[in-house]
Structure 1
Amino acid sequence: MMNSDSEFLERQLSTVVAYGALTFIALFVLSKRYSSNLKSMQSLILFCWACFLKPFSVTQSSSKGNQQQSALESFYKTQAQVYDSTRKLLLQGRETALSLAAAHFTSSGKKNLVWVDIGGGTGWNIEQMNRIVSLRKYFKKVYLVDLSPSLCQVARHRFAKAGLSKIVEILCVDACDFEIPEGKADLITFSYSLSMIPTFHSAVDHASELLNSGGLVMSVDFGVQSEVTAIGRVNTVGGTYNRHVPWILRSFWRIWFEFDRVFLDPARRDYLEYRFGTLKSLNCYNHSLGKIPYYIWLGCDRDKTPALLHRINALATESPYLAPSEETKLIPKSKGYEAAVSNRQKHLPYPSIYYQNDIWRVYYDEMNPQYTQFKDQYIYAFTWEDPREDFNILKLSSKDTVLAITSAGDNILSYACLDDPPKRIHGVDLNPCQGHLMELKLAALKVLKREEVWKMFGLGKIENFTELLVTKLSPHISSNAFQYWYSKGYKSFDINGTGLYDTGSTRWALRLARWVFKIAQVQDQVYELCNCTDMDQQKEVWDDKIKPAIFNPIVSKILIGNPLFLWKALGVPVNQAKMMGSSVMKYFADTLDPIVTRSLLSMDNYFYYLTLMGHYSESNCPNYLTKDGYNKLHSPSSPLDSIRLHTDTLNDVFERLTKNSLTVAVIMDHMDWFDPSGQECDLEVKALYGALAPSGRVLLRSASTEPWYIKVFERNGYKCDAAAVRFSGESIDRINMYASTWVCTKIPPKARGMSTLDI
């Protein structure tokens, strides 16, 4: 056993030494940027001495008094004057963290705030915040709290030079027991300071007591979290994206920083997440210096009024709002309500989604194994359904409560753009990333200018997406969606890239289509097709130039007739492909041929225009991107507030909604995916029946003119009528992708001769 332990320790030491050598090499390379400036080079040498060599040469201080203050002074006194110039590469994320906090307190509209920066050191954070927002505009008082006299002295000079001495007060005191005249603070920040406070529990407790009920607390710091530390409280941490730090990085950086009395143990962040509610959370790496793990976290008072919990539950389930004392067992419970009650019983904060400013997103269990099939990406970047036909068939109004499959959210937003929009719209999708995309659209429509919304979702590209995400959009999306877009958004919306509409699983269909056009040398003709000004010209270009390039034996064999291509690129599962008939190629010919005789792609068919061009045009786009649609959705009384996003199966949502609360359910081609020999279809149809109001309607589309499951609907109490059936050479809407559209109307129990107890 001893030999085994010795070998293990030897391997650990070897790893540390090897990684340390690599880090020193990296520092040497970085030093080249300072070589042209003698003062900068001296600062770098002093920094390396204080951080990497001095800890090995200095013995424990024997001075009496505050040992922590003595230790800090020993570390900072020799480098206080060069602290800021040497920390830019090391202390990453500070600008982002401050901008994130600023976005949240400015979005609330509150002013005359009190800010306490704990461990504020040289005052860099306060000066940086003054660049982001005017301190005088939002704050009546700012306190810098730090235990190092040397750093505080630098801060005094900084604020005097910047003319901020009247608003900023420096307290050279312990973070665990100081007081301020105001008694409470509206913003408390820890910027790379919590990892240096030995009694961090006490410091966090003190911050909790100091924070106003509507205040914010922010931390940016080094940290080495792992999957294990989130067990049992995943719903409180605001998402686990990139949270797990690999063992070698956890071990090395934790040991390395402890030489400088900087502690990366996960307990510090864990305790923050225990004492406060999590608003936003990011897990990052400093790639410039050996991939040092750090996090950005924004929290709030964890003890919001319990009455709000019941109101949120009502918004998610369509139940009437009742105060806790009035609640009955008949009121349905959302998963979020159940999770929040469970957390309260365990003395944990509520789920992170509970604390968000906008409650569009209904709580979901991030660790649900059903989500793994989507591999952290959405399938659809745009919705492939024609909302105009939905309006014509359903005649939606403010009397309706609508449930629809979320997809990319375009149709849900089109419903909200109606002159008399539904009073409630529920979007349901099992893929969490489709919800992330929809959240981004909702937030953008709420707070961005129309030009910015158009760039993001009309062109699919925008400059400085990450900056917009942090400074404007972050207060209006969930922490989970924020993590997703912070990690992936800069690529999705890259102004020099292919854009948003070349993302999602269906991007492969668009790429392969472009490849086919390139091989057939008809790219110019595709552009011509999308810019035709009359139907005759459009049909001529299609028949003579485009159609032969698509419908040829090679494309038919390799692509369209290939089940793998159908599913991976077009999102067509095997069961649905079987419903297309004996020839998938003929099905696609019947789909595309009539399109060119129905409407101009350049003016009135944004679906195919986007597919071929990669973006929309101002005169050919979904309703929410038009000037009129934007003005409706951006207004103070915006219909966006009526939208709720569920990340779950349809069946589960139907079961948790109040009985008889839905008037319309738009389930797209969802039923085509079921196996005719299974029980899933029957179970869902029954659950849907219970959620629908008397005479409530279901709109669905199918790849078959006579879907097998229509009989299942009829057997379970629905009257089913074909709203449209596609025949060869004809189209039923601007997309024409489906062979039929159906409306299934619920027959009330009494009309069926049933007791309501039988439902």
Structure 2
Amino acid sequence: MEQILSSVEDNLLIVYSTISIIVISAIAVNQTARSLLLFCWNCFVVPFFHKKKNGIEQQSNLELFYKNQAHIYDKTREYLLKGREECLKLAVNHLESQKDLVWVDIGGGTGSNIEYMNSVLPISNFKKVYLVDLSPSLCDIAINRFKNNGWSNVEVLIADASSFKIPYEKVDLITFSYSLSMIPTYYNTIDNAVNLLSQSGIIASVDFGIQSNDTSIGRINTLGGLINRNSSWINRNFWRIWFEADKVFLDSARRNYLEYKFGTVKSINTYNKKLGKIPYYIWVGCHKSKNENLIHRINSHVTESPYLSPVKTSSASIISVDDQPYMSKGHEALIDNLSKNLPYPSIYYQKEIWRVYFDDLNPQYNQFKNQYIYAFTWEDPREDHKILKFNENDTVLAITSAGDNILHYACLPNPPKKIHAVDLNPCQGHLLELKLSAFRNLPKDQIWSLFGEGKIDNFKELLLTKLSKSISSNNLQYWFERGNKTFDPKGQGLYDTGSTRWALRLAKYIFTLCGLNKHIRQLCECTTMKEQVEIWNNKIKPHLFNPIVATLLIGNPIFLWKALGVPPNQAKMMGPSVMKYVVDTLDPVINRSLISSDNYFYYLTLMGKYSKQNCPDYLTAKGYNNITRVDPKTGESPLDHIRLHTDTLNDVFYRLKESSLTIAIIMDHMDWFDPNGKDAVNEILAVKKALCKNGRVMLRSAAQYPWYIKIFEQNGFRCEPAAIRESGESIDRINMYASTWVCTKIEDKRRMSSLRI
């Protein structure tokens, strides 16, 4: 009870402190401050002394509230009504066409929304714009505003939102801007919007709102993500009670009904932190049945693959779960939603088909604490291609990591026809999805800023106006919350994020403590191998591998796992001395290639960014051209052939059509398994089912001869080392692993013998 009372007091203190500051300022300064004082008087004082009318007198209630403050409405609401501009940008970015549009702004008040829209999408692009509001005082302000702007295609309707009439049967855009929470007949109003919105149209709302776990039960997959969605008990009830004094209702029913009647395209949940953490949301939706064809493009007759089904299929031909031997989780969720008359899962309303449906509530995701581990990929994809020789007939599955490997395969001259990226961590998928959207929507220079420098000005603006249309709602929520900080030009940038950032930060601290920063820069600027080896041997290596550093860092299992992502089982495979393993890793690299020009992995870790002469292939001009090129026959680019799975490898292997993969690249994943457990056996049988005959598994290991190779051989694979690292030698530019193996499936599934271990 004491904790609850304390939270209430904190919220009250924030609000009344804000009011006090405004009042004091109003007494001392200009007209703007006096406007804020009038706003506070009407919003925070009058409601407690003047009881409003109920029922059919809604217009009178509105006039009572707005008449004395209509002239200062716009000046004061910018502090309270956050997200209006962002909502319009998001809505416009999802319109199928941006010309000859009909737009209805319901509860548009003074018309500031429409005036701001002119900076996002010129009002001249609209065939007709209607502002609908029940308050004559606010509408008078709007009429004068539109007249001053000279807009003859904008009309103000003083009418009830639930029953207004316009001469158009269907419209392209409907918006609610902090109005739905003030409309008593919101059911009728939303139903009216359903009837009015065209099949290809967009509806958007920004408003106060409070949600809890209970309001999401049974329809999680329709919501577009759960980040910041559910407010605490104190926050929900404090603001609900506070705003109800002004006849503003923050209850969850309005948003729930909106999300029931329309499909959720994008959803953002956030707070007005400057005024006491008031919860509000930005939501963009469409007709429930908008993307019937997309269902079949995503599902086909196999699992999570969009490649084999027709683009156009009638809604009557939706295949039931019982009729398909290989059914995706997304299709199973779809069938369940249809049986409950719910919208499709939000993932089905997205423009792109990259992201495979996943369940936000999967308890396996909790271990990642809503952050990715790797901001860049450590495996060398150049070696992957050298060993496997990808071609246009390959269907490849690889672990997502940061997606650099996936993009490398896609920007090859003859890329695989299909690429499945798999990672149980949703945030690794969020990072790759952002990269895919950047290649779809941004020029080379902005892609370089984002993923070469790791920094860019005003990331959130870019996210809303360019990137959002090509990413899932879950992805938008993630980057809306974190993107500005991640890519902040004044911060450390993208490559100082992820769990492994702690290893890099600690390394930099040691460099500083040992006075090595100057030599690290010199190492990254060397133009000859002789110079590089000399700096390493004489200036850096003695400090890096001294006994104190070795004991605290390299030999510390906690550091290995928490900072570098090396679990205990893998650490055991490194041999009796982890220090020797690390020396055998780094020493040969220095003698193999120049850090400054041909080893972007170590260059990035030391400098915090790439250089244009030393970066992944997908960030080069040639890579950009390859990955964005469009096949004139199919109208597709390599980007269209990538699918992102947020699941375990086993689950994806089992849901893929049998014999559909030609290559599976599982990195060092199997090093993590317990040699005494069944995980390795289960995964080998799962990948075998998905691979075609002569299909290959490529893996890396911290051991020269990993224990699970025998299990591959016992179950129908021919296993050959592509590279075995000997002391003093390197097997690739990173040299982090002791071996690379290729295991080829040689046994036909029909002749599969009983399990042998």
TM-score bracket, normalised by the shorter chain, equals: over 0.9
Which stretch shifts more, 324-333 or 482-491?
A: 324-333
Deviation string 1:126-167 (CA, Å, 9 cap, x unpaired) is 001111221213x11111000111111110000000111x11
User: What's the CA shift string for 1:61-95, capped at 9, x where partnerless?
Assistant: 49xx9411111111111111111111110111111
- Aligned equivalent of 2:241: 255
Q: 2:57 aligned with 1:67, yes or no?
A: yes
> Deviation of residue 348 (structure 1)?
0.8
How far does the alpha carbon of each residue in 1:547-599 deviate from its partner, in whole angstroms, 9 at most, with x for none? 11111111111100111000111110111001000000000100000001111
User: What is the rounded CA distance, in whole Å, between the counterparts of 2:250 and 2:546 in structure 1?
Assistant: 61
- State the match for 1:235 in structure 2: 221
User: 1:461·1:495 contact (CA, 8 Å) conserved in 2?
Assistant: yes
Q: Does 1:87 pair with 2:77?
A: yes
Counterpart position of 1:383: 377
**Which of 494, 502, 519 is the aligned partner of 2:496?**
502
Equivalent position to 1:41, from 8, 33, 45: 33
Provide closer, same or farther for how the CA distance between residues 710 and 371 of structure 1 changes in structure 2, counting only shifts above 3 A.
same
1:177 aligns with 2:163: yes
* Residues in 2 aligned to 1:644 and 1:15: alpha-carbon distance in whole angstroms: 45
Q: Is the 8 A contact 1:317 1:656 kept in 2?
A: no
Q: Determine the C-alpha separation between the residues in 2 that align with 1:560 and 1:192.
A: 55
- The alignment status of 1:679 with 2:678, answered yes or no, reads yes
Could you tell which deviates more after superposition, 633-642 or 389-398?
633-642
Give the equivalent residue in structure 2 for 1:720.
Answer: 719
Partner amino acid for 1:294?
Y
User: d(CA) in 2 for partners of 1:17 and 1:570?
Assistant: 43
Q: What letter corresponds to residue 593 of structure 2 in structure 1?
A: S
Q: Which amino acid aligns with 1:134?
A: P
Aligned-partner Cα distance in 2 for 1:305–1:486: 25
Whether the aligned pair in 1 keeps the contact of 2:356 and 2:644 (CA below 8 Å) is yes
CA distance in 1, matches of 2:148, 2:511: 63
Partners of 2:297 and 2:306 within 8 A in 1: no
Q: Supply the AA of the counterpart residue of 2:146.
A: F
Partner of 2:633: none
Distance between the aligned counterparts of 2:512 and 2:52, measured in 1? 72
2:614 partner letter:
N
In 2, Cα distance between equivalents of 1:674 and 1:699: 17
Report what 1:290 is aligned to.
276
CA positional deviation for 1:307: 4.3
Q: Which runs of 5 or more residues in structure 2 are unaligned? A: 631-635
Alignment of 1:678-697 (within 5 A): 678-697=677-696
**SS of aligned partner of 1:721:** strand
Aligned to 1:155: 142
For 1:317 and 1:638, locate their aligned partners in 2 and report how far apart those are by CA, in whole Å: 16
> In the TM superposition, what is the alpha-carbon distance from 1:25 to its structure 2 partner?
2.2
SS state at 1:182 partner: coil
Amino acid corresponding to residue 743 of structure 2 in structure 1: C
Residue 588 of structure 1 corresponds to which residue in structure 2?
Answer: 582
Question: What SS does structure 2 have at the residue aligned with 1:285?
Answer: strand
Matched residue, 1:530:
524
| CA pair 57-684 structure 1, distance change in 2 beyond 3 A | same
Deviation at 1:310, TM superposition (A): 2.4
Contact kept? 2:371, 2:498, Cα under 8 Å: yes
Give the match for residue 5 of structure 1: none
Cα gap change, 1:318 to 1:188, in 2 (>3 Å): closer
Q: Deviations over 1:307-337 (max 9, x none)?
A: 4312211382367327574958354111111
User: Which whole-Å CA distance do the structure 2 matches of 1:447 and 1:35 have between them?
Assistant: 50
1:33 CA drift (Å)? 5.4
Give, as a single letter, the amino acid of the residue that structure 2 aligns with 1:674: F
Q: Which residue of 2 aligns with 1:549?
A: 543
Superposed CA RMSD in Å reads: 2.2
Matched-pair contact (CA < 8 Å) for 1:276–1:302: yes
Superposed, 1:624-639 pairs within 5 Å as: 624-636=618-630, 637-639=636-638
Within 5 Å, give how 1:453-602 maps onto structure 2. 453-602=447-596
DSSP 3-state at the match of 2:304: helix
Structure-1 separation of matches of 2:134 and 2:74: 17
Change (3 A) 1:548 1:88: same
Q: Would you say the 8 A contact 1:384–1:735 is kept in 2?
A: yes
Structural mapping, 1:261-280, within 5 Å = 261-280=247-266
Q: Aligned equivalents of 2:646 and 2:24: distance in 1?
A: 50
Letter paired with 2:646? T
Supply the distance in 2 between the matched residues of 1:265 and 1:362 (Cα, whole angstroms).
Answer: 32
CA contact (8 A) 1:529 1:541 kept: yes
Alignment deviations for residues 607-633 of structure 1 (CA, whole Å, 9 cap, x no partner)? 010011111000100011001111222
* Distance apart, 1:20 and its partner CA: 3.9
Matched letter for residue 87 of structure 1: R
| Equivalent-residue separation in structure 2 for 1:11 and 1:61 (angstroms) | 36
Q: Which moved more, 1:298-307 or 1:661-670?
A: 298-307
Cα pair 1:401 1:424 within 8 Å, conserved = yes
Match of 1:399 among 384, 389, 393: 393
Q: Which amino acid aligns with 1:246?
A: S
Aligned with residue 133 of structure 2, among 107, 129, 146 = 146
Q: Does 1:127 align with 2:121?
A: no
The answer to whether the Cα contact below 8 Å between 2:704 and 2:724 also exists between their aligned partners in 1 is yes
1:103 aligns with 2:93: yes
* CA 16–681 in structure 1, closer or farther in 2 if over 3 Å, else same: closer
Count matched residues. Answer: 743
Q: Residue 37 of structure 1: CA displacement?
A: 4.8
Change (3 A) 1:612 1:723: same
What displacement does 1:110 show? 4.1
The equivalences for 1:435-454 within 5 A come to 435-454=429-448
Is contact 2:47–2:245 with CA below 8 Å preserved after alignment? yes
> CA–CA distance in 1 between the matches of 2:52 and 2:706?
80
CA displacement at 1:460 relative to structure 2: 0.7
Match of 1:187 among 153, 163, 173: 173
Retained in 2: the 8 A contact 1:605–1:620? yes
The aligned amino acid for 2:539 is: K
TM-score by length of structure 2 reads 0.95
- Please give the alpha-carbon distance, in whole angstroms, between the structure 2 residues aligned to 1:262 and 1:247: 19
Alignment partner of 1:198 out of 166, 184, 192: 184
**Are residues 1:115 and 2:103 paired?**
yes
Give the Å deviation of 1:22. Answer: 4.2
Instruction: Give the one of 304, 309, 323 matched to 1:321.
Output: 309
Q: Could you tell me how far apart the structure 2 residues matched to 1:136 and 1:655 are?
A: 53
SS in structure 2 at match of 1:242? coil
Tell me the TM-score normalized by structure 1.
0.95
Secondary structure of the corresponding residue to residue 532 of structure 1: coil
Residues 1:641 and 2:629 aligned together: no
Distance 2:570 2:6 in 1: 57
Deviations 1:219-250 (A, max 9, x none): 10111111221111111111111111111121
Q: Alpha-carbon deviation of 1:514?
A: 1.0
Shift of 1:490: 1.0
Provide the secondary structure at the position in 2 that maps to 1:696: strand
CA contact (8 A) 2:329 2:358 kept: yes
SS of residue in 2 equivalent to 1:443: helix
Moved more, 11-20 or 615-624: 11-20
CA distance in 2, matches of 1:518, 1:18: 42
The residue type paired with residue 154 of structure 1 is I
1:508 is paired with a residue whose SS is helix
Counterpart AA for 1:179: K
8 A contact 2:433–2:471 mirrored in 1: yes
C-alpha change, 1:408 and 1:672, in structure 2 (3 Å) is: same
Per-residue deviation, 1:27: 1.6
Greater shift in the superposed pair: 432-441 or 301-310: 301-310
Contact kept in structure 2, 1:319 and 1:332, CA below 8 Å: no
Structure 1 pair 330–54 and aligned structure 2 pair: CA distance change class (3 A): closer
Alpha-carbon offset, residue 11 of structure 1: 11
Rate the CA distance shift 1:21–1:553 in 2: closer, same or farther, 3 A.
closer
Query: C-alpha displacement at 1:47, in angstroms?
Result: 1.4
Query: In 1, distance between residues paired with 2:318 and 2:354?
Result: 25
Residue type at the aligned position of 2:122: S
